[in-house]
């Protein structure tokens, strides 16, 4: 039986080795993704009968904590691949699952082109299919397409002519598909989160997966996505902790007024390192707790789907509980990663701001990655549930 967490831990030193240089020089990790593909890690959540491991959500969290610590860019670029699996498992018909999850089970890497800048609200989708000269074509533009440059298969979120949701599955060499390397965020610089364009991409029927029937229905995929985001942020925090400990032991000089001869005996440096550790470990614990809730909800809902029944009341309750648990974890992971990345400078002092060490990448990565959704609304959702019994919104961020 394949141990996918062990695979991630084996890959981690290779991923971490040149992470700082890749960030500083914006070198995209194509070679790393080739290693990930050949390792089989991408099949971790695919059903066993389709060549995967069907691992637990707790194992997914462990994989992304491990990779997030090594390089959150690589972890983030792999995020769409894992979410594609969840969405296909839940929403696609068996023949589509066999076709696309079977490919993933055999080792290909997928990614997703989802987010757009058009519309009045976040999450609006205007990329669409049209019928032209007897052909079905895809038209549109995605502003964020994380990881698509590394992928063999790209899942596009679009709408049909009636405005109902669909997924469109595109091989990377599809004619009319344009992938741009123009992501210029201050952090997560090597996630390849650039623009993707679709210029009358001709589609066959099996490339279109209807999802409109899931609109307004609570499902576990949002919580699973948030679990991965949380895990990446915990990974960033753990990398900060390692750097803080190393620097304090080997480079930090004590202040004369401290009364000690070693920085590792300075009470304020001890305090700073202790605070970093406590905040990161607390977030890690909440993420691991939330993973157990997400696992229960995912298994229950997938079982409902397998038996062709509507979501049961028991499953609905598990879905709500998992979304609340993951909201709590998201708050802790977000605030921890940002805070400890700044706190590192209280341990290392002015020397740690020098460019060769590139320690600012931790804060830049944490601050950039944690802008995916608003933590303020997580607080609101938790409070509204505990005080008023209101379940969280049915969106991809819960």
Among candidates 67, 45, 48, 43, which has minimal Cα distance to 56? 45
Structure tokens at 272: 């700073």
What are the distances in angstroms from CA 116 to CA 122, 145, 229? 8, 9, 19
In terms of phi and psi (left: phi > 0; alpha: psi -120 to 50; beta: otherwise), the region of 49 is alpha
From start to end of the chain, where are the E strands? 110-113, 128-132, 135-142, 153-159, 165-171, 177-179, 196-203, 208-210
Q: pLDDT tens digits, residue range 27-61?
A: 999 999 999 999 999 999 999 999 999 999 999 99
Please provide the size of the chain in residues: 398
Q: pLDDT tens digits, residue range 276-300?
A: 999 999 999 999 999 999 999 999 9
Identify the pLDDT of residue 258.
87
Identify the pLDDT of residue 263.
85
Is residue 112 within 8 Å of residue 146, measured between CB atoms? yes
Identify the pLDDT of residue 361.
98
Among candidates 36, 120, 119, which has minimal Cα distance to 81? 36
Average pLDDT by consecutive 10-residue portion of the chain (398 residues)? 96 98 98 98 98 98 98 98 98 97 98 88 90 96 96 97 96 97 96 97 98 94 98 98 96 87 91 98 98 98 95 97 98 98 94 94 98 94 98 94
Q: pLDDT tens digits, residue range 356-387?
A: 999 999 999 999 999 988 999 999 999 999 99
Is residue 216 within 8 Å of residue 394, measured between CB atoms? yes
């Amino acid at each position: 039986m394949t141990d996918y967490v062990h695979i991630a831990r084996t890959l981690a030193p290779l991923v971490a080795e040149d992470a700082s240089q890749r960030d500083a020089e914006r070198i995209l990790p194509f070679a790393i993704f080739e290693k990930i593909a050949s390792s089989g890690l991408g099949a971790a959540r695919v059903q066993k009968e389709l060549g995967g491991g069907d691992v637990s959500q707790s194992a997914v969290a462990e994989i992304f904590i491990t990779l997030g610590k090594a390089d959150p860019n690589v972890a983030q670029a792999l995020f769409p691949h894992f979410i594609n699996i969840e969405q296909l498992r839940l929403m696609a018909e068996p023949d589509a699952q066999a076709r696309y999850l079977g490919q993933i089970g055999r080792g290909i890497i997928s990614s997703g082109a989802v987010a757009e800048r058009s519309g009045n609200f976040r999450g609006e989708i205007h990329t669409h299919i049209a019928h032209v000269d007897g052909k079905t074509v895809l038209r549109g533009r995605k502003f964020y397409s994380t990881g698509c440059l590394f992928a063999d298969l790209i899942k596009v979120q679009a709408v049909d002519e009636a405005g109902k949701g669909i997924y469109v599955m595109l091989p990377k060499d599809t004619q009319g598909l344009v992938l741009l390397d123009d992501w210029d965020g201050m952090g997560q610089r090597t996630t390849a989160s650039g623009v993707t364009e679709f210029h009358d991409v001709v589609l066959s029927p099996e490339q279109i997966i209807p999802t409109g029937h899931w609109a307004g229905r609570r499902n576990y995929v949002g919580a699973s996505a948030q679990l991965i985001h949380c895990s990446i942020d915990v990974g960033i925090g753990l990398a900060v902790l390692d750097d803080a400990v190393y620097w304090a032991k080997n480079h930090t000089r004590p202040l004369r007024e401290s009364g000690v001869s070693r920085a590792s005996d300075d009470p304020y440096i001890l305090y700073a390192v202790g605070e970093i550790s406590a905040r990161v470990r607390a977030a890690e614990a909440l993420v691991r707790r939330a993973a157990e809730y997400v696992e229960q909800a995912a298994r229950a809902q997938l079982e409902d789907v397998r038996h062709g029944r509507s979501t049961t009341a028991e499953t609905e309750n598990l879905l709500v509980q998992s979304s609340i648990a993951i909201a709590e974890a998201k708050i802790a992971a977000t605030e921890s990663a940002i805070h400890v990345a700044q706190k590192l400078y209280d341990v290392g002092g002015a020397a740690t701001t020098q460019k060769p060490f590139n320690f600012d990448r931790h804060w830049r990565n944490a601050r950039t990655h944690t802008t995916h959704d608003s933590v303020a609304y997580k607080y609101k959702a938790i409070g509204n549930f505990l005080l008023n019994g209101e379940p969280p919104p049915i969106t991809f961020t819960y």
